[in-house]
């Protein structure tokens, strides 16, 4: 299975200190939306997570938390405890949304864990010819071509403003968060892969499996039963026709005292 991802250059930079890993610089067009992944350690799975906005931590304001969903529609947050990542989404972006934001894990008996990123909202996308990379969030990177966890990666930028990343050899383990890099700017990208159920079971070496033998035998039996049923049906129709024919030929007409008397058995 090959997946090709094409998108305008809307990038961010990766940063991670201790317990939270996220992007650092994001540039997006006005009117759209952006989803930011924030990875955390497994020991914080049951903690409250939230998004805070402000140029400094001491004066940032709460925007949305996992224990108090937003009703405005501007901000939303979700926590995938199995993957140990919570995501924050900002919708209907305007230039006023430009600024610093903080991904935070709440600690009841100590200082909250936090990591910031800078969001820049502009009327047009900016494209500066710099080094390009495709990376797994918190993992390895590919600059032009190579592989990440067994998945083949090819990067090209034939069209101005569009970076094309082609992934081949994908597996279910390839699902997760990635970052597309242009210089010190990047865009977080999430990939979800599902495995199709197997409909046929064939043994190695070209031999048919017991399941196939049983299935083929069942098909043959069904065909034989169908033929027998059709034959019986035709035979019954034929017998009924013969009976009607005999009954019709048995009708007699006699004359008594010049008056016809019709007797029908």
Q: Which residues are CB-contacts of 154 (< 8 A; sequence separation ≥ 6)?
A: 144, 145, 165, 166, 168
Least confident of 13-17, 174-178, 188-192, 210-214: 13-17
75, 90 contact by CB (below 8 A): yes
Helix H or strand E encompassing 3: strand 2-8
At 32, the pLDDT band (50, 70, 90 cuts) reads: confident
- Going from the C-alpha of 78 to that of each of 88, 186, 189, the distances in angstroms are 7, 22, 16
Per-residue pLDDT for 246 more than 50?
yes
What pLDDT was estimated at residue 237? Answer: 67
Where is pLDDT greater, at 250 or 120? 120
Q: What is the pTM of this model?
A: 0.57
What pLDDT was estimated at residue 260? Answer: 47
What pLDDT was estimated at residue 177? Answer: 87
At 264, the pLDDT band (50, 70, 90 cuts) reads: very low
Least confident of 11-15, 103-107, 247-251: 11-15
What pLDDT was estimated at residue 199? Answer: 55
Euclidean distance between CA atoms 103 and 84, whole angstroms: 13
Euclidean distance between CA atoms 117 and 65, whole angstroms: 17
pLDDT in tens, 103-148: 999 999 899 999 999 999 988 655 455 678 888 887 888 888 888 8
Please compute the mean of the pLDDT values over residues 54-60 and round it to a whole number.
Answer: 93
What pLDDT was estimated at residue 122? Answer: 85
Question: Which tokens belong to 229?
Answer: 């049923």
pLDDT in tens, 162-207: 678 888 888 888 888 888 887 666 778 888 887 766 555 444 444 4
182, 9 contact by CB (below 8 A): yes
Question: Which tokens belong to 219?
Answer: 């098909």
Per-residue pLDDT for 239 more than 50?
yes
Tell me the average pLDDT of the chain: 75
What pLDDT was estimated at residue 155? Answer: 83
Question: Among residues of the chain, what percentage have pLDDT more than 90?
Answer: 30
What pLDDT was estimated at residue 105? Answer: 96
């Amino acid at each position: 299975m090959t997946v090709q991802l094409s998108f305008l250059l809307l990038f961010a930079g990766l940063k991670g200190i201790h317990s939270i890993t996220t992007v650092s610089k994001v540039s997006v067009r006005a009117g759209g939306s952006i989803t930011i992944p924030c990875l955390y350690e497994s020991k914080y799975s049951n903690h409250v997570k939230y998004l805070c906005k402000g140029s400094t931590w001491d004066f940032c304001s709460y925007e949305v938390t996992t224990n108090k969903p937003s009703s405005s529609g501007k901000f939303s947050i979700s926590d995938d405890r199995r993957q140990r990542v919570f995501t924050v989404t900002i919708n209907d972006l305007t230039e006023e949304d430009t600024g610093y934001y903080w991904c935070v894990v709440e600690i009841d008996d100590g200082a909250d864990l936090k990591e910031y990123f800078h969001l820049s909202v502009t009327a047009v996308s900016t494209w500066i010819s710099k080094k390009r990379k495709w990376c797994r969030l918190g993992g390895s990177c590919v600059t032009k071509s190579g592989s990440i966890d067994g998945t083949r990666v090819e990067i090209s930028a034939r069209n101005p403003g569009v970076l094309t990343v082609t992934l081949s050899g994908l597996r279910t383990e390839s699902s997760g968060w990635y970052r597309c890099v242009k210089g010190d700017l990047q865009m977080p990208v999430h990939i979800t892969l599902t495995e199709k159920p197997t409909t046929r079971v064939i043994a190695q070496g070209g031999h048919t499996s017991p399941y196939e033998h049983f299935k083929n035998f069942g098909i043959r039996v069904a065909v034989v039963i169908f033929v027998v049923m059709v034959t019986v049906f035709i035979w019954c129709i034929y017998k009924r026709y013969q009976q009607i024919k005999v009954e019709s030929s048995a009708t007699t007409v006699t004359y008594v005292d010049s008056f016809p008397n019709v007797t029908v058995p």
